[in-house]
Structure 1
Protein backbone atom coordinates (compact mmCIF):
# COMPACT_ATOMS: atom_id res chain seq x y z
CA UNK A 1 0.00 0.00 0.00
CA UNK A 2 1.41 3.37 -1.06
CA UNK A 3 1.22 6.25 1.39
CA UNK A 4 1.77 10.01 1.46
CA UNK A 5 1.98 12.33 4.47
CA UNK A 6 0.86 15.85 3.55
CA UNK A 7 0.41 19.18 5.30
CA UNK A 8 -2.77 20.68 3.88
CA UNK A 9 -2.11 24.07 2.27
CA UNK A 10 -5.61 24.81 0.98
CA UNK A 11 -7.17 27.84 2.71
CA UNK A 12 -10.41 25.92 3.33
CA UNK A 13 -8.84 22.57 4.17
CA UNK A 14 -10.89 19.57 3.02
CA UNK A 15 -14.33 21.11 3.36
CA UNK A 16 -17.23 21.44 0.92
CA UNK A 17 -15.97 21.63 -2.67
CA UNK A 18 -12.39 20.37 -2.04
CA UNK A 19 -13.77 17.42 -0.06
CA UNK A 20 -16.15 16.55 -2.90
CA UNK A 21 -13.29 16.67 -5.43
CA UNK A 22 -11.10 14.58 -3.09
CA UNK A 23 -13.79 11.89 -2.71
CA UNK A 24 -14.56 11.91 -6.44
CA UNK A 25 -10.89 11.36 -7.28
CA UNK A 26 -10.51 8.65 -4.61
CA UNK A 27 -13.57 6.82 -5.96
CA UNK A 28 -11.83 6.46 -9.32
CA UNK A 29 -9.11 4.37 -7.67
CA UNK A 30 -9.53 0.66 -8.14
CA UNK A 31 -8.42 -0.35 -4.67
CA UNK A 32 -8.82 0.78 -1.11
CA UNK A 33 -8.11 4.46 -0.43
CA UNK A 34 -7.99 5.88 3.10
CA UNK A 35 -7.19 9.21 4.73
CA UNK A 36 -6.35 9.98 8.35
CA UNK A 37 -5.82 13.25 10.18
CA UNK A 38 -2.42 13.14 11.84
CA UNK A 39 -2.02 9.85 13.68
CA UNK A 40 -5.80 9.33 13.86
CA UNK A 41 -7.81 6.39 12.63
CA UNK A 42 -7.97 6.12 8.83
CA UNK A 43 -11.36 6.49 7.15
CA UNK A 44 -12.50 5.72 3.63
CA UNK A 45 -11.46 8.49 1.25
CA UNK A 46 -14.39 7.43 -0.93
CA UNK A 47 -16.95 8.62 1.65
CA UNK A 48 -17.84 12.33 1.73
CA UNK A 49 -19.22 12.00 5.28
CA UNK A 50 -16.05 10.31 6.52
CA UNK A 51 -13.76 12.90 4.90
CA UNK A 52 -15.84 15.85 6.14
CA UNK A 53 -15.94 14.25 9.60
CA UNK A 54 -12.15 14.53 9.87
CA UNK A 55 -12.50 18.33 10.00
CA UNK A 56 -9.24 18.88 8.10
CA UNK A 57 -8.13 22.51 8.11
CA UNK A 58 -5.22 24.44 6.64
CA UNK A 59 -1.99 23.37 8.32
CA UNK A 60 -3.29 19.96 9.43
CA UNK A 61 -1.28 16.90 8.50
CA UNK A 62 -3.08 14.07 6.73
CA UNK A 63 -1.94 10.59 5.75
CA UNK A 64 -3.36 9.28 2.48
CA UNK A 65 -2.99 5.59 1.62
CA UNK A 66 -3.96 3.71 -1.53
CA UNK A 67 -3.46 0.30 -3.01
CA UNK A 68 -3.74 -0.95 -6.56
CA UNK A 69 -1.68 -0.54 -9.68
CA UNK A 70 -2.52 3.16 -10.05
CA UNK A 71 -1.85 4.00 -6.39
CA UNK A 72 1.05 6.41 -6.91
CA UNK A 73 -0.75 8.38 -9.62
CA UNK A 74 -3.91 8.53 -7.50
CA UNK A 75 -1.97 9.72 -4.44
CA UNK A 76 -0.41 12.48 -6.52
CA UNK A 77 -3.86 13.69 -7.60
CA UNK A 78 -5.20 13.59 -4.03
CA UNK A 79 -2.22 15.61 -2.78
CA UNK A 80 -2.89 18.21 -5.52
CA UNK A 81 -6.50 18.53 -4.37
CA UNK A 82 -5.51 18.84 -0.69
CA UNK A 83 -3.12 21.66 -1.56
CA UNK A 84 -5.19 23.48 -4.19
CA UNK A 85 -5.78 27.12 -3.37
Structure 2
Protein backbone atom coordinates (compact mmCIF):
# COMPACT_ATOMS: atom_id res chain seq x y z
CA UNK A 1 0.00 0.00 0.00
CA UNK A 2 1.23 3.49 -0.89
CA UNK A 3 -0.21 6.87 -0.03
CA UNK A 4 0.56 10.50 -0.61
CA UNK A 5 -0.86 13.82 0.55
CA UNK A 6 -1.37 16.26 -2.29
CA UNK A 7 -2.79 19.74 -2.90
CA UNK A 8 -5.36 19.98 -5.69
CA UNK A 9 -3.96 22.14 -8.48
CA UNK A 10 -6.53 21.54 -11.24
CA UNK A 11 -8.96 24.39 -11.75
CA UNK A 12 -11.71 24.57 -10.44
CA UNK A 13 -10.88 21.44 -8.43
CA UNK A 14 -12.28 17.91 -8.73
CA UNK A 15 -15.75 18.96 -9.81
CA UNK A 16 -17.72 17.98 -12.92
CA UNK A 17 -15.35 17.36 -15.85
CA UNK A 18 -12.06 17.05 -13.88
CA UNK A 19 -13.77 14.65 -11.46
CA UNK A 20 -14.96 12.47 -14.34
CA UNK A 21 -11.47 12.49 -15.86
CA UNK A 22 -9.95 11.50 -12.51
CA UNK A 23 -12.39 8.60 -12.08
CA UNK A 24 -11.63 7.40 -15.63
CA UNK A 25 -7.89 7.44 -14.85
CA UNK A 26 -8.45 5.60 -11.56
CA UNK A 27 -10.50 2.91 -13.32
CA UNK A 28 -7.56 2.11 -15.64
CA UNK A 29 -5.81 0.48 -12.68
CA UNK A 30 -6.59 -2.79 -10.89
CA UNK A 31 -5.47 -1.43 -7.51
CA UNK A 32 -7.96 -0.23 -4.95
CA UNK A 33 -7.81 3.57 -4.83
CA UNK A 34 -9.20 5.81 -2.11
CA UNK A 35 -9.24 9.53 -1.41
CA UNK A 36 -9.33 10.79 2.16
CA UNK A 37 -10.24 14.30 3.28
CA UNK A 38 -11.24 15.45 6.76
CA UNK A 39 -11.51 11.89 8.12
CA UNK A 40 -13.82 10.86 5.24
CA UNK A 41 -12.59 8.13 2.89
CA UNK A 42 -14.22 7.42 -0.49
CA UNK A 43 -13.59 5.00 -3.35
CA UNK A 44 -11.78 7.07 -5.99
CA UNK A 45 -13.34 4.96 -8.74
CA UNK A 46 -16.79 6.30 -7.82
CA UNK A 47 -17.88 9.62 -9.36
CA UNK A 48 -20.58 10.02 -6.71
CA UNK A 49 -18.10 9.45 -3.89
CA UNK A 50 -15.66 11.91 -5.39
CA UNK A 51 -18.31 14.58 -5.91
CA UNK A 52 -19.48 14.15 -2.30
CA UNK A 53 -16.14 15.51 -1.07
CA UNK A 54 -16.62 18.84 -2.94
CA UNK A 55 -12.90 19.16 -3.63
CA UNK A 56 -11.88 22.64 -4.75
CA UNK A 57 -8.53 23.92 -5.96
CA UNK A 58 -6.13 24.24 -3.02
CA UNK A 59 -7.77 21.46 -0.98
CA UNK A 60 -5.41 18.97 0.67
CA UNK A 61 -6.27 15.30 0.21
CA UNK A 62 -4.61 11.94 0.76
CA UNK A 63 -4.56 9.37 -2.06
CA UNK A 64 -4.28 5.77 -0.85
CA UNK A 65 -3.55 2.99 -3.36
CA UNK A 66 -3.28 -0.74 -2.73
CA UNK A 67 -2.65 -3.34 -5.42
CA UNK A 68 -0.26 -4.71 -8.00
CA UNK A 69 -0.06 -1.48 -10.01
CA UNK A 70 -0.15 0.87 -7.01
CA UNK A 71 3.07 2.79 -7.73
CA UNK A 72 2.10 3.70 -11.31
CA UNK A 73 -1.49 4.50 -10.29
CA UNK A 74 -0.33 6.83 -7.50
CA UNK A 75 2.17 8.63 -9.73
CA UNK A 76 -0.40 9.13 -12.52
CA UNK A 77 -3.18 10.33 -10.22
CA UNK A 78 -0.94 12.68 -8.22
CA UNK A 79 0.29 14.22 -11.46
CA UNK A 80 -3.31 14.77 -12.59
CA UNK A 81 -4.40 16.24 -9.23
CA UNK A 82 -1.50 18.65 -9.15
CA UNK A 83 -2.51 19.89 -12.59
CA UNK A 84 0.49 18.44 -14.45
CA UNK A 85 -1.50 16.32 -16.92
CA UNK A 86 -4.87 16.21 -18.65
Alignment RMSD (CA, Å): 1.3
Unaligned 5+ residue runs, structure 2?
none
Q: Structure 1, unaligned stretches of length 5 or more? A: none
Moved over 6 A (4+): none
* TM-score, length basis structure 1: 0.90
User: When the two structures are aligned, how many residues end up with a matched partner?
Assistant: 84
- Conserved 8 A contact 1:34-1:65: yes
Q: What secondary structure sits across from 1:42 in the alignment?
A: strand
Aligned pairs for 1:53-64 within 5 A: 53-64=52-63
Q: Give the structure-2-normalised TM-score.
A: 0.89
Structure with the higher fraction of residues in strand conformation: 2
